[in-house]
Amino acid sequence: MAWSTQTRIEQRIRAARLKFYADKDRDGTVDPASLTQAFEFADGLCYAYLHHLGASTITAWTASTVPLLAQKIYEDIALSFLAGDALQPNPQIVENYEKSLALLGKIRDGKIDLVDRDGNVLTPSASTFAEIEVSTEDDNRVFTRELLGTPPAATHPCVFEAVDNDDSDVETTE
Give residue limits of the domains in the chain: 6-108
pLDDT score recorded for residue 116: 87
Whether the Cβ atoms of residue 77 and residue 42 lie closer than 8 Å to each other: yes
Q: Which one-letter amino acid corresponds to residue 67?
A: P
Is 0.85 surpassed by the pTM of this model? Answer: no
For the chain (length 174 residues), average pLDDT per consecutive 10? 88 86 86 92 92 84 92 94 78 92 92 88 61 45 47 42 49 51
pLDDT score recorded for residue 158: 41
* Buried/exposed 105-137: b ≥16 CB within 10 Å, e otherwise: ebbbeeebbbbbeeeebbbebeeeeeebeeeee
